[in-house]
């Protein structure tokens, strides 16, 4: 009877998946499945106009020796994809797609133990674990986009710890403005004996380099522009893996990063990254050296009273002290003073407080930082005050008018 919410017998028949003709059936452990879903679920876009992109693809193919002993899971947004695998007891090979967010949230709520995943008719998928039995509405495997394969030739092994550090010290400087397309990523620079990364949003620039880092397979110089989302996914994968190296390769359209049994592919950014070397300060002769933790705490306090839109704080250097001040009509004014050796002429310059804090956070607020200036109108530079530092790290900031 329409309008009262009652189901007719015909309704039940058409909306309940049949079990006849089912294909693909595997059993995995909840711990293994949750680990892999956690690693790849962030690639899936929450809001997409293409429904299939909201799904995971689970595939099990036959092998020459019989049934496979692992399942492959893929997530993609068309520009990025992660493919991973986990050990599985395979009863029937095949493939299915399952709503990613729903599966991830559901598996998190299950108790530890085995999970059986079975493809039913009409692309429905049955998930059984203990006394829990759920059927999810999937979509056809044929509609899932093709994900590129890692090239088998000319790959480069990059130390995982080095790549993770490069990303952490530059990613916050990438532009969020989509119109500045070539600034929506960081530039990775590979040489035979060094590796570096640089990022800028036009207001600041972060450059970090690890010298004396031999890289096999590199002759001359190779520059790769990596999108922000790919870097974020890489950082997450590196944090959750114990692989010593990342295997990197590329082709005309794609970048590939293999970390253990997981492979991230990312569509290349096109365009020319700006000449970052031209904006590096070369004659910033006035400087102070302060503790990172002390400077971070002072900026954090003073910035509470900065203009909400600009976040600008004033840096004033005079005889043996560094003053940080801010004021706004809405909240008031604040000043913090740090004692530090300084004997040059007094200097006042304004900077975005959030930009300064980003750098100090990347330094883990540890050690000492050198602030270098030319005058109140030129770019300033921050860098670690450690001549024996493993990484060469420079952070350039454009001044603000206050």
Q: What is the mean pLDDT of residues 353-369?
A: 96
pLDDT beyond 60 at 311: yes
CATH tag for 14-143 (out of 1.10.10.10, 3.50.50.60, 3.10.150.10, 3.40.50.720): 3.10.150.10
pLDDT digits (tens, 9 = 90+) for 214-234: 888 888 899 999 999 999 999
Handedness of CA 214, 219, 220, 224 (dihedral sign): negative
Q: What is the mean pLDDT of residues 293-310?
A: 95
The model's confidence at residue 68, banded by pLDDT at 50, 70 and 90, is confident
State residue 66's pLDDT score.
60
CB 344 within 8 A of CB 286: yes
Q: What is the mean pLDDT of residues 48-65?
A: 85
Structure-derived torsion over alpha carbons of residues 257, 259, 260, 261, reported in degrees to the nearest 10: -60
Q: According to the CATH classification, is domain 156-275 in 3.10.150.10?
A: yes
Nearby residues of 252 by Cβ (< 8 Å), 6 or more positions away: none
pLDDT beyond 70 at 395: yes
Strand order in the sheet with 70-76: 94-99, 55-60, 70-76, 80-87, 262-267, 254-259, 245-250, 156-159
Q: What is the distance between the alpha carbons of residues 128 and 112, in angstroms, rounded to a whole number? A: 12
- CATH class name, domain 280-397: alpha beta
pLDDT beyond 60 at 320: yes
CB 167 within 8 A of CB 197: yes
Q: What is the mean pLDDT of residues 31-42?
A: 97
Q: What percent of the chain has a predicted confidence (pLDDT) above 90? A: 79
165 in helix, strand or coil? Answer: helix
Q: What is the distance between the alpha carbons of residues 178 and 318, in angstroms, rounded to a whole number? A: 41
The model's confidence at residue 193, banded by pLDDT at 50, 70 and 90, is very high
Q: Where are the beta strands (DSSP E) in 146-240?
A: 156-159, 185-191, 194-200, 204-211, 221-227
Q: What is the mean pLDDT of residues 27-56?
A: 94
Q: Where are the domains of the chain?
A: 14-143, 156-275, 280-397
pLDDT beyond 70 at 45: yes
Question: pTM to 2 decimals?
Answer: 0.89
Q: What is the mean pLDDT of residues 31-44?
A: 96
Q: What are phi and psi of 156, to 5 degrees?
A: -125, 135
State residue 211's pLDDT score.
92
Instruction: Compare 4 and 121 and report the one with higher pLDDT.
Output: 121
The model's confidence at residue 388, banded by pLDDT at 50, 70 and 90, is confident
The candidate with the shortest Cα–Cα distance to 104, out of 44, 168, 64, is 44
Please provide the average confidence, as pLDDT, over all residues in the chain.
Answer: 90
pLDDT beyond 70 at 285: yes
Question: What 8-state DSSP symbol labels residue 296?
Answer: H
pLDDT beyond 80 at 344: yes
Handedness of CA 295, 300, 304, 308 (dihedral sign): positive
pLDDT beyond 70 at 15: no
pLDDT beyond 50 at 175: yes
Same fold, 156-275 and 280-397: yes
Q: What is the mean pLDDT of residues 340-348?
A: 93
């Amino acid at each position: 009877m329409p309008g009262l919410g009652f189901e007719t017998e015909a309704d039940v028949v058409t909306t309940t998946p049949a079990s006849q003709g089912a294909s693909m059936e595997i059993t995995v452990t909840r711990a293994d499945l949750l680990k892999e879903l956690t690693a790849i679920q962030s690639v899936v876009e929450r809001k997409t106009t293409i429904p299939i992109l909201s799904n995971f693809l689970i595939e099990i193919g036959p092998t020459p020796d019989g049934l496979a002993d692992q399942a492959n899971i893929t997530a993609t947004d068309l520009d990025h994809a992660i493919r991973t695998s986990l050990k599985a007891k395979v009863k029937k090979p095949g493939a299915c797609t399952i709503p990613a967010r729903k599966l991830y949230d559901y598996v998190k709520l299950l108790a530890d133990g085995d999970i059986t995943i079975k493809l039913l008719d009409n692309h429905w998928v049955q998930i059984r674990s203990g006394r829990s039995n759920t059927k999810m509405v999937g979509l056809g495997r044929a509609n899932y986009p093709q994900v590129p394969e890692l090239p088998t030739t000319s790959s480069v092994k990059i130390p995982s710890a080095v790549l993770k550090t490069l990303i952490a010290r530059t990613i916050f400087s990438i532009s969020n403005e989509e119109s500045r397309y070539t600034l929506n990523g960081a530039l990775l620079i590979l040489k035979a004996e060094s590796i570096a990364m640089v990022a800028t949003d036009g207001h600041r620039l972060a450059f970090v380099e690890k010298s004396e880092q031999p890289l096999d397979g590199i002759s001359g110089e190779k520059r790769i522009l990596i999108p922000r989302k790919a870097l974020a996914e890489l950082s997450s994968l590196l944090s959750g893996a114990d692989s010593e190296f990342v295997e990197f390769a590329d082709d005309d359209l794609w970048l590939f990063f293999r970390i253990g049994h997981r492979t991230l592919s990312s569509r290349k950014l096109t365009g020319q990254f700006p000449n970052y070397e031209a904006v590096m300060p070369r004659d910033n002769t006035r400087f102070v050296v302060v503790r990172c933790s002390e400077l971070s705490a002072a900026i954090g306090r003073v910035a509470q009273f900065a203009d909400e839109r600009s976040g600008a704080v004033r840096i004033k250097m005079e005889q043996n002290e560094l003053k940080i001040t801010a004021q706004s009509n809405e909240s008031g004014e604040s000043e913090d003073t740090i004692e530090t050796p300084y004997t040059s002429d007094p200097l006042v310059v304004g900077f975005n407080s959030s930009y300064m804090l980003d750098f100090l956070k990347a330094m883990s607020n540890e050690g000492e930082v050198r602030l270098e200036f030319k005058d109140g109108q030129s770019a300033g530079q921050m860098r670690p005050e450690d001549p024996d530092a493993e990484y060469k790290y420079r952070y350039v900031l454009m001044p603000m008018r206050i």
